[in-house]
Amino acid sequence: MSIRVGESAEAATFPKAAKKLLANTQLRRNVRRATDTIRNKRAKVVGEMPDWEQLRTAAQQIKQRTLRNLDSYLEQFEKACTAAGGKVHWARDADEANKIVVDIIRGHGQKEVIKVKTMTSDETRLNKALEAAGIAPYETDLADLIIQLGNDKPSHIVVPALHRNKSEIRQIFMDTMGLTELGHKPEDLAAAARDYLRERFLRVKVGFSGANFAIAETGSVCVVESEGNGRMCITLPDVLITMFGIEKIIPTFDDLEVFLQLLPRSATGERMNPYNSIWTGVTPGDGPKEFHVVLLDNGRTRVLADEESRETLHCIRCAACLNACPVYRQTGGHAYGSIYSGPIGAILTPQLQGMEHSTSLPYASSLCGACYEVCPVKINIPEILIHLRRKIVESGGAPMTERMGMAVAGFTLEDSGRLGAAQKLVQLGRQPLDALGLPGWSVARDLPAIPTESFREWWKNRGAR
Amino acid sequence: MHLLDTLGVDVETRRSSPVLISLFITCYNDTLFPGTGRAVVRVLERLGHTVEFRESQTCCGQMHYNTGYHPEAVRIMRKFLQDFRGAEVICVPSASCVAMIRDHYPKMAAEAGMEREVADILPLVFEFTELLTDKLGVTDVGATYPHSVTLHTSCHALRSLHAGDRPQRLLQEVRGLDYLQLPASDQCCGFGGTFAIKNAEVSTAMLSEKMRSILETGAEVCTGADNSCLMHIGGGLSRQRATARCVHIAEILASEEGHE
Ligand code: SF4
């Protein structure tokens, strides 16, 4: 099996990557400014919904029901989509998925494909596979285009180029679009991207998209976006390929109502997305003549098998947890070594990729709970982080010093006499504290003066005083 | 005559009948911040209640649980349940330990077959400020503290205990205290237990933002219900030689004229 999440298996550990990013003050300023803006917008539009909590619960329950019967919903989707003229492919892992896509494009003798935001294609490293097969992929989501042209990596689930500011984007466009002149206003940049993309929208015969939701009942696929470039990708080409993870299924069309209220408010702070595209199979004389769906597993059934963390698959990729996360706020998304960053990345990447590759991610959190508070599908991310830490410890993946420290601490805390003795040791000097790994602490923080008397000693002596 | 009576505060509105309160000091406070424990005792006794300290107690298991060492955490939970069996009310001067007990004991209990014991003890466990406002029905505890104070509501107090304005209400009744609102008060300070060491750089970057907010208020003192956060913030302030310092809310509430 070639289950992978982009390059995460080779990525640096979180603390190492974070350390490097923390030195980049421009990037941190960009991240802070952007996340603050989205957070405030989200808070405002969520605040005006009196039934927000009920919507969250409804979404959570729909997702729970879906996951309990995922096998039958997937088959129902396949049946309905096929009946509507689509063709459904099942991909167990990244390589299978890439091969399916390459074969379809080759089968039509095409050498180019226009793409719109598909996180799963980053998971499978589809662009690399396409290029190796002599097929040129063009990203058309504005942010993804900036990433592609800048030879960069996405740092946010919804706003992949969030770490870039306007002048950096202008420079990337100047350098890669062969422009000698370009204005500084956002409109100027948008116009440049429009010129660059429109030519491709009209020329390229194959389109590729992801999906936000796939409806089992009708076999329909739904994509929501802000720019309209996705609409171009899914309507203009002759052949359309749509790839998504198997957890994107929802049972009925009615269920969509819940998610279309939650997603835009959580993701961009909008009441509704400017573009909501829903299509079912092929419609003769209108849109693509051929429609393929690639259902991607790539580790998802493995996540499904763990009851304690299964709810990770509820995620609708709104990125509210990223925008709320105080850790993400400092480092941005690249520290997570995966297309999935922030709190959801910290629990999703290790589970998909296999824990052994990303053992530092479940610790990339202070467990402050801000993510859980904003998650529109109520994923208890802190609880899952702890669950994953437990798995790492149980599989012997924790560092030796930590295991010893915890064993000693555990032994000490199981008996008040031992605790009293340990307190005496602490009072004698700072050695025992330092031995537990406090060097990291002392870089920027002083330790408090160690008291000469513990509380229990004070209590004991109290009567005597 | 009780101190509060000399201040002319209506006895009936501020005080419940005397309660036997069992103090769970927590291992952290016991070892590093005994002054907080002494302050809790002083406040509760001043209000006319009786405090007991069960000397067999140690810890709630939070560090082990959060770091992934569940068997150890379950053993510590079992001990906690034994140590506090039969207690009337349990007072904990640490929001994060209360969060540990409330949020995680039920699940751990299900694994360890101790659902009954946990269900019985949960309604008895109060964080110190909760105990004052909710159980004992007081906001004016007769304290005097002539300093400007800002409040860091820890993430556990904020999101797990839903502390709301309880600590603030208590502080605003303190004589001489100038309460200053902390900007971006819902932001984590970056402590997070082992996070502060495993991800020391990110943790201190978060701390820098928190310190900036605190210093912006101009307060002399930053308080809160968690000495873990306060040790982290206070350690950073001290390293920067800032004039602001951290003091647990119990120590403020215990202060009386001429006696801090
Ligand atoms: S985990 Fe929740 S908040 Fe985070 S991206 Fe997924 S749905 Fe949004």
User: What's the DSSP call for residue A139?
Assistant: E
Q: Give a yes or no: residue B74 inside a domain.
A: yes
- Asked if the Cβ–Cβ distance from B68 to A386 is below 8 Å, we say yes
Q: Tell me the per-residue pLDDT of A277-288, one tens digit each, with 9 for 90 and over.
A: 999 999 999 999
Hey, what CATH class is A53-301 in?
alpha beta
Q: Both B93 and B169 in a single domain?
A: no
Q: What is the pLDDT of residues A286-319, one digit of tens each?
A: 999 999 999 999 999 999 999 999 999 999 999 9
Query: Which atom, in ligand 1's list, is nearest to the CA of A312?
Result: 1
Please provide the average confidence, as pLDDT, over all residues in chain A.
93
Same domain, B197 and B101: no
Residue B10 in this model has a pLDDT that exceeds 50? no
> Closest approach of chain B CAs to the CA of A117, in angstroms?
30
Mutate to test the pocket of ligand 1, among A379, A380, A381, A383 (most ligand atoms within 8 A of CB): A379
Residue B155 lies in a domain: yes
Q: Which of B85, B107, B135 is the last residue of a domain?
A: B135
**Do B119 and B17 fall into the same domain?**
yes
Whether B32 is covered by a domain: the verdict is yes
Mean local confidence (pLDDT), A202-223 = 97
Same domain, B233 and B128: no
pLDDT, tens digit (0-9, with 9 covering 90-100), for B117-141: 999 999 999 999 999 999 999 999 9
Q: Are B25 and B121 in the same domain? A: yes
On whether residue B52 sits in a domain, the answer given is yes
- pLDDT at residue A433 in the model: 54
- List, in sequence order, every beta strand (DSSP E) within chain B: 20-23, 50-52, 89-92, 125-127, 148-151, 178-180, 221-224, 245-248
| ipTM reported for the complex, 2 dp | 0.93
Across the strands, what pairs with B91? B23, B126
Verify that B186 and B93 share a domain, yes or no. Answer: no
CATH 3.40.50.10420 positions along chain A are 53-301
Average pLDDT in the A51-61 region?
98
Q: What is the pLDDT of residue A438?
A: 63
Q: What is the pLDDT of residue A9?
A: 86
Q: How far apart are CA A188 and CA A183, in angstroms?
A: 5
B143 within domain boundaries:
no
Instruction: Verify whether ligand 1 is closer than 6 Å to residue A317 (CB atom).
Output: yes
Please tell me which of the candidates B64, B188, B196 has its beta carbon nearest to residue A441: B196
In the listed set B135, B159, B174, which residue is the last one of a domain according to the structure? Answer: B135
Q: Would the pLDDT of A432 be above 80? A: no
Residues B222 and B160 in one domain: yes
Q: Please indicate, yes or no, if residue B140 is contained in any of the structural domains.
A: no
Q: Are residues B83 and B155 in the same domain?
A: no
Return the CATH number at B29: 3.40.50
Closest residue by Cα to atom 2, ligand 1, is: A375
Asked if residue A180 has pLDDT above 60, the reply is yes
Indicate the residue among B87, B109, B135 that finishes a domain. B135
Same domain, B117 and B161: no
Q: What value does the mean pLDDT of chain B take?
A: 93
- Nearest CA, atom 3, ligand 1: A375
Range of the domain at B182: 148-254
pLDDT in tens, B137-167: 999 999 999 999 999 999 999 999 999 999 9
Would you state the pLDDT for residue B232?
95
Q: pLDDT category, A464, cuts 50, 70, 90?
A: low
| Percent of the residues in chain A that have a pLDDT greater than 70, as a whole number | 97
Same-domain check for residues B7 and B131? yes
B67:A410 CB<8 A: no
B94 and B44 together in one domain: yes
- Quick: pLDDT tens for A116-125: 989 999 999 9
Examine residue B141 and state whether it is found in any structural domain, yes or no.
no
Encoded tokens for B201: 């750089």
Distance linking the first and last C-alpha atoms of chain B: 21
Q: Shortest Cα distance from B73 to chain A (angstroms)?
A: 8
Q: Report if residue B33 sits inside a domain.
A: yes
Domain count, chain B: 2
Span A27-53, pLDDT tens digits:
999 999 999 999 999 999 999 999 999
Verdict on whether the full-model pTM lies above 0.90: yes
Q: Is A92 exposed, middle or buried (CB count within 10 Å of its CB: 0-12, 13-18, 19+)?
A: middle
Ligand 1 contact, A320 CB (< 6 A): yes
Q: Are residues B82 and B20 located together in one domain of the fold?
A: yes
Query: What was the pLDDT predicted at A429?
Result: 67
CB of A376 closer than 6 angstroms to any ligand 1 atom: yes
Q: Provide, as residue numbers in chain A, all residues whose Cβ is less than 8 Å from the Cβ of B204.
A: 443-445
Enumerate long-range contacts of A84-87, CB under 8 Å, 24 or more apart. A84/A218, A84/A219, A84/A280, A84/A281, A84/A282, A85/A281, A85/A282, A85/A291, A86/A219, A86/A280, A86/A281, A86/A282, A86/A291, A86/A292, A86/A293, A87/A290, A87/A291, A87/A292, A87/A293
